[in-house]
A and B are shown apart, each in its own frame.
Chain A
Amino acid sequence: MNDTKKKTNLEINQVINQPYKYGFETQIEKEEFPIGMNEDILKLLSEKKKEPPFLLQFRLKAYKKWKEMTFPTWANLTIGSIAYDQMKYYSIPKQKKKIESLADVDPEILKTFEKLGISLDEQKKLSNVAVDAVFDSVSITTTYKEKLAKSGVIFCSISDAIQHYPELIRKFLGTVVSSGDNFFAALNSSVFSDGSFCYIPQNVTCPLELSTYFRINDKESGQFERTLIIAEKNSSVNYLEGCTAPQFSENQLHAAIVELIAFENAHIKYSTVQNWYSGDAEGVGGIYNFVTKRGLCIGKNSHISWTQVETGSSITWKYPSCILMGKESSGEFYSVALTNHYQQADTGTKMIHLGEKTKSKIISKGISCGFSKNSYRGLVKIGTNASYARNFSQCDSFLLGSSSLACTYPYLDIWNPTAIVEHEAKISKVSEEQLFYLVQRGISVEQSISLLLSGFCKEVFTMLPMEFATEADKLLSLKLEGTVG
């Protein structure tokens, strides 16, 4: 019977220690910058991308601020030093000519995305999702551009937007996350290379789900992408981002910014399935993921919802937030963060209530296995003018094994006496009794754990768009199930 126990523990380990499936590297010819960063590199970058002068000024200003800033140390993370001057800030696949259609894209890159399960061929693609594919520093292609254009929706890479819609960029870029907001935001604002841009005009419900797929391929380059989504009055859009990277023993840096702006009655739903390479079982390698995501509900009754499934990265530092300015505007944050081996995650949200009768809801689920560290950090701020604001927060942690760590840091900052703020937190473990009950009914240990965890995450998974809910489920079971993958 002792053997049975050993076997159970062994099985649990097998279940949660699935190898990373997306760790391959694509061999392509690259065009890249010399290592390091300085003003000349930024000028070269801006020139290379044929940017208007105001953008170079934006970059240089951010760079100046960044140089004076220091690395934030308040998070519950242990981070080795990052050699910013040993990094390449620009790496793109070499192109012989301008890409007009998919036929001009390097077949190796297309194959890479195929292998990741992202077909860029519109014929084979899911018929209701448009995709922008970003490979290292550059957007490869955006599907369904024309179909979207018919309804007035602009969906393209941010580089394209800078060239074709400079006025929109000048008006909105950096308005939600200012270039000096934090260390990584300043770094991104100076060197961001590509990302997605999306504009939904007034009274338009975006006819397709929009999606960006980020792939880091290069070993020494960081990825600094920038996403900007603007939803005008009475419009709505669903957006999903996915991320993977090859397996290297060095850490790579990913510092992104996402800005969302919702005007009166507009709805933005932003979902992330993050599966960057998380390092090996000993904690060597993996992506450092430092991301600033923030949405501004500027209009009355506007709504922004963040859903994230974070399974990858060696370190995750990420707090998708909502600034609820418009009267009766609302924000939501649904999160599942899974950490294994030596992964560290410090993630959560900020809900800043400024307008009257604003509402927010936070549902966070953390799963920690192995020797990992998983923290929820969230701020609910109710400003003096936010009368009758409401917040509900629920933060649940799930521990698998006895060497992992789960922490919850809820911060409340309330300046209006009419506000109602609720917080619930719970930490649970897979109990031997739960497993015993399920295996007694003929369900294997492996399946039982995955059943327990999918039950634990259900509230969040149901918030993902239909097309991606199964993807997320698959991703989680890939990390958790021995039979899949």
Chain B
Amino acid sequence: MNSILLKIKALDASINATPILKKLDLEIQENEIHVIMGPNGSGKSTLAKVLAGHPAYSVSNGTIEFCGNDLLEMSPENRSHEGLFLAFQYPIEISGVTNYDFLRISYNQKQKYYHKPEMNPLEFMELIDIYVKKLKMKNEFLYRNLNEGFSGGEKKRNEILQMLLLHPKLVILDEIDSGLDIDAIKIICEEIIKNLSKGSSLLVITHYPKILTYLKPTFVHIFKDGKIITTGNTELVQKLEEEGYDSFS
């Protein structure tokens, strides 16, 4: 029997007093893949940011439970420690900070949260090396500044490296396909599926139906005007491709 990872109930959220999410309901159990599709501006990315705790968004109504805890009461960093991972549409570049230092600090913060020993740079080298090899990345990747000058594909791959390192329970992919060509999308999707921790679930936000061929979703949700209007399986996508978002209401 799978247990519930995420439970969103009647969620209203806004940015700068403009309502974006309206009475949104969504439930995700362990080992599921949910895909949210919708037209531009329908609030898909807002959902990802609200879940991760972006300070610009405010929640006026509704509840979000994450592994039985009140997510809205948790700080953004604690949401991360508790296993919520957002793979960014456009990962941020930070100069002067090496990817290696960033990864180690991130890992150690989680260790600290669980009262486990932190790793010094040498110990961490052994750990990260395993994941770097697993993703067939080059070692020099670690010593470049965080995401600086990375190609679109490299940035996404770096997000997966972080996912491997942090073992999240819920992975949110926000438009993972933007800025990637078809071959790269395929490889990235396969790697995400292959490297998901046991029991983890995926919430995929996209408006690109092609990605679904690689992900085999449990549910497909059509998102419009801040809420889910239809839920189904991959057959929904076919209808979407033929008739567009306007056919759903």
A residues near B, CB below 8 A? 1-2, 4-5, 7-8, 431-434, 436-445, 447, 451-452, 454-459
Given A441-B106, A442-B110, A443-B106, A4 and B53 contact (CB-CB distance below 8 Å): yes
Check B80–A440 contact: CB distance below 8 A: yes
A454: which B residues are within 8 A, CB to CB? Answer: 96-97
Mark the stretch among B56-64, B180-188, B220-228 that contacts chain A: B56-64
Mark the stretch among B70-78, B129-137, B210-218, B239-247 that contacts chain A: B70-78
Q: Other than the known A7-B75, A445-B77, A447-B105, what 5 A-B pairs have Cβ atoms closer than 8 Å?
A: A1-B72, A436-B52, A436-B54, A436-B76, A458-B96
B31 is an interface residue with CB less than 8 A from chain A: no
Decide if the interface of chain A is mainly helix, strand, loop or mixed: helix
Q: Chain B 76-110, CB within 8 Å of chain A: the 1/0 string?
A: 11011100011010011011110001100110011
Instruction: Mark out the residues of chain B between 108 and 148 whose CB falls within 8 Å of any chain A CB in the assembled complex.
Output: 109-110, 113, 145
Instruction: Mark out the residues of chain B between 20 and 63 whose CB falls within 8 Å of any chain A CB in the assembled complex.
Output: 49-50, 52-59
B residues near A, CB below 8 A? 13, 49-50, 52-59, 72, 75-77, 79-81, 85-86, 88, 91-92, 94-97, 101-102, 105-106, 109-110, 113, 145, 162, 166
Closest to A6 in B: B55
A437: which B residues are within 8 A, CB to CB? Answer: 88, 91-92
Closest to B49 in A: A436
Closest to A436 in B: B54
CB distance from A476 to the nearest CB of B (A): 13
Closest to B105 in A: A443
Rounded to whole angstroms, the CA-CA distance of A225 and B56 in the bound complex is 51
Given A2-B58, A434-B94, A442 and B106 contact (CB-CB distance below 8 Å): yes
Rounded to whole angstroms, the CA-CA distance of A440 and B58 in the bound complex is 17
Check A1–B106 contact: CB distance below 8 A: no
CB distance from A102 to the nearest CB of B (A): 38
Closest to B79 in A: A440
Our pick among B59, B72, B77, B92 for the contact of A444 (Cβ within 8 Å) is B77
The winner among A431, A438, A457 for most chain B CB atoms within 10 A is A438
The winner among B13, B53, B145, B166 for most chain A CB atoms within 10 A is B53
Rounded to whole angstroms, the CA-CA distance of A2 and B15 in the bound complex is 10
Given A442-B77, A442-B166, A443-B77, A452 and B94 contact (CB-CB distance below 8 Å): yes
Check A1–B57 contact: CB distance below 8 A: yes
Closest to A434 in B: B92
Check B55–A441 contact: CB distance below 8 A: no
A434: which B residues are within 8 A, CB to CB? Answer: 92, 94
Check A441–B80 contact: CB distance below 8 A: yes
Our pick among B88, B95, B109 for the contact of A442 (Cβ within 8 Å) is B109
Check B53–A1 contact: CB distance below 8 A: yes
Pick 28 A–B contacts, CB within 8 A, sort by A. Answer: A1-B58, A1-B59, A2-B58, A4-B53, A4-B55, A5-B55, A7-B75, A431-B92, A432-B54, A432-B55, A432-B56, A436-B49, A437-B88, A440-B52, A440-B53, A440-B80, A440-B86, A441-B102, A441-B162, A442-B81, A442-B110, A443-B105, A444-B109, A447-B109, A451-B94, A452-B97, A455-B97, A456-B95
Check A439–B76 contact: CB distance below 8 A: yes
> Which 8 residue pairs spanning A and B have beta carbons closest together?
A455-B96, A5-B55, A458-B96, A455-B97, A1-B58, A442-B80, A437-B92, A441-B106
Rounded to whole angstroms, the CA-CA distance of A176 and B127 in the bound complex is 55
A5: which B residues are within 8 A, CB to CB? Answer: 55-56, 58
Rounded to whole angstroms, the CA-CA distance of A478 and B110 in the bound complex is 24
B49: which A residues are within 8 A, CB to CB? Answer: 436
